[in-house]
Amino acid sequence: MRIGSVGGGGRYDDLVARFTGEKIPATGFSVGISRLASAFSISGVLNALNGPVVVLNMDRDDPSEALKLATELRAAGLRAEAYMGSSGMRPQMKYADRRQAPAVIMVGSDELEKGEETIKDLKEGARQAAAIESNEAYREARPGQFEAPRSEMVDRIRDIVEAEQ
């Protein structure tokens, strides 16, 4: 399949003159992001990538813990981002699904007090949830979800991400 050009450039002397009235030598270059994204999508390259681990922002007034966790994961070489909106749990989980996140980390006041993080392996959770028949049983089972001490967080997330590859 042909995508066409994904970049181009040239001289833009007359463009500058149009806005300033002065003839100024100018060159420029542009990348066609939508064409480049289409090429990656068609080739399957994007499908091979996991999304980032999403750290859910459970404290709407103070996202600092979510930001710290995301920074810690990135420092360990893992793709991660902190949810920065003020939405509740459901919209944040939907966001993680749209980002194709392999896992989410939930940190709120309960986790901070215990020195633990709540981690949800989204792919394993979906697999386990397929066998659960009722909403009550789902809430009881919490498929794919577990707690881990903060000191083990990076290793546990790395295990989830590597299992996806």
Q: Are residues 43 and 17 in the same domain?
A: yes
Over 90: is that where the pLDDT of 15 sits?
Answer: no
Identify whether the C-beta of residue 151 lies closer than 8 Å to the C-beta of residue 121: no
Q: Are residues 24 and 71 in the same domain?
A: no
pLDDT of residue 97: 92
Q: Are residues 68 and 83 in the same domain?
A: yes
- Write the pLDDT tens digit of every residue in 16-64: 889 889 888 999 999 888 888 888 878 777 666 668 999 998 887 888 9
- Domains in the chain: how many in total? 2
Alpha-carbon span 165 to 156, nearest angstrom: 15
| Residue-averaged pLDDT of the chain | 88
- Write the pLDDT tens digit of every residue in 118-142: 999 998 888 888 888 888 888 888 8
DSSP class of residue 77? T
pLDDT of residue 140: 82
Residues of the domain holding 102: 50-164
Q: What angle do CA 156, 73, 163 make, to 5 degrees?
A: 40
Q: Are residues 90 and 159 in the same domain?
A: yes
Query: Is 64 within a domain?
Result: yes
Q: Are residues 90 and 160 in the same domain?
A: yes
Once rounded to an integer, what is the mean pLDDT over residues 74-80? 95
Residue 140 or residue 97, greater confidence: 97
Over 70: is that where the pLDDT of 3 sits?
Answer: yes
Share of the chain above pLDDT 90, in %: 43
Q: Are residues 101 and 150 in the same domain?
A: yes
pLDDT of residue 27: 92
Q: Are residues 35 and 56 in the same domain?
A: no
Q: List the beta bridge partners of residue 120.
A: 104, 145
Alpha-carbon span 73 to 157, nearest angstrom: 8
Nearest to 50 by CA among 23, 19, 81, 17: 81
Domain at 110, CATH number: 3.40.50.800
Q: Are residues 27 and 105 in the same domain?
A: no
Q: Are residues 38 and 54 in the same domain?
A: no
Over 80: is that where the pLDDT of 100 sits?
Answer: yes
